[in-house]
Amino acid sequence: MLKRLCTLFLLVAGSFSATTPLFADQPTNFRKENSNVILIILDGVRWQEVFTDPPASDLMTAKTFNLFNLKFRFPSILFGDPRVGPTVETATHNTQSLPALQSIMTGKQSPCESNDCGRVKEKTLLEKLAKELPLKTAEDKEYGVATISSWEKTALAVNSEEGGTFVNAGDVPFPELFEEGEVDPYDEISDSNEDLALILENYGLRRDELTKEYAFRFVQRHRPRFLLLHLLNADNAGHLQLFGHYHPEKAEQEYVAALQDYHEWLQELLNLLGSIKEYGQNTTVIVFTDHGRGAEQLWFLHNVPAARKVWIFATGPYVDDDAVIPLDKRLSHLDVYPTIISLFGLTPETCEGCGRVIEAIAGPLEKAADISGF
């Protein structure tokens, strides 16, 4: 049985050798002076749709979001299939978005209990990066550490003080990205779905199609050292059923459509990074979700214990797809913070309850992938 479990996970994370542990026992201060990180949160995407070999989905979506169908420049790795391990969980039992985001951004369990808890109280990952990275030019200081999100409340998780780092979030345009004579698509995209438009308006949301366009243009123009991109179309589909706006079949179709978009957009981002030579060669892309959802007929819920099961995917120059993966290891949202800090060569905080560096993602400098030929 154990052999079969190991074989299943090999299909997900590649072959293994006894070279790199999943966690670094002691965080190492790598000198990764040129590192960049794009952190993408796909709100409310279940692990069942991410792990497709063998299929896990109980919806119609089994083959719509196979991350390993993407074309990568670098090694890639994926954690979180609870059928075989290692598992990935939310930091707390609260599986709402703002509590999860605040835990992720501080690297500590957040006392936030709902999406109405207000602004994060502790200094965040983005504020630490803005303070400690060598952001020398005026452009770097303004845009070098940034958040672009479809949800206005993401701003309450990334800055303990308003204006601490750059944020464009919620149902707002992004005029800074457009020169005179260029058209911001914000005024051109309208939603013919009245139910969805009502949800977007009531919850301070923008369609991901706009957020994605803004984020990719931002990367191309400003080359941020760190960008948080938060997308919510998939989560909106579940909410539309939860609030009675959608028939279950329609909500499922919207969810599937969002996953298909995300798959295409991730490939588009990887292609974009491949065209930006030196910047792309030094960029790690990490993709994960803030919470899972229920199973089968209750797939649209996320206030259930099953929603604690989440996942993490990464591709980049320091990813080690030959990493040893202890099948009984438990990762959590808290491990994202120190892993990103380590990718920049900074020293993560160590404390009781803090996360640990996932060295399979941020692994040692000499393990950087050979990118000759790209």
pLDDT digits (tens, 9 = 90+) for 137-161: 999 999 999 999 999 999 999 999 9
pLDDT computed for residue 353 by the predictor? 86
Looking at every residue in the chain, the average pLDDT score rounds to 84
273-285: average pLDDT: 94
| Across 69-78, 206-215, 359-368, least confident range | 359-368
**Domains located in the chain, CATH noted:** 2-366 (3.40.720.10)
Q: What contacts 24+ positions apart, CB below 8 Å, involve 159-165? A: 159/119, 159/120, 159/124, 159/126, 159/127, 160/119, 160/120, 160/121, 160/122, 160/123, 160/124, 160/127, 162/119, 164/124, 164/126, 164/127, 164/130, 165/126, 165/127, 165/130
The larger pLDDT score, comparing residue 304 to residue 13, is at: 304
Higher-confidence position of 166 and 349: 166
Sequence letter at residue 358: I
What single-letter DSSP state applies at residue 145?
A: E
Residue 335 has pLDDT above 80, yes or no: yes
Question: Tens of pLDDT along 19-38?
Answer: 344 554 433 433 478 899 99
What distance in Å separates the CA atoms of residue 147 and residue 145, rounded to the nearest whole number? 7
Cα–Cα distance for residue pair 100/146, rounded to 1 Å: 19
Give residue-wise pLDDT tens across range 36-90. Answer: 999 999 999 999 999 877 777 877 655 567 887 888 889 999 999 999 889 999 9
User: CB of 240 within 8 A of CB of 46?
Assistant: no
Q: Name residue, tokens 């052999």.
A: 3
Task: Find out whether 49 and 61 touch, Cβ atoms under 8 Å.
Answer: yes
CA distance 357 to 22: 9
Contacts of 84 (CB under 8 A, 6+ apart): 5, 6, 8, 9, 12, 327
Of 195-204, 210-219, 291-300, give the range with the top mean pLDDT.
Answer: 210-219
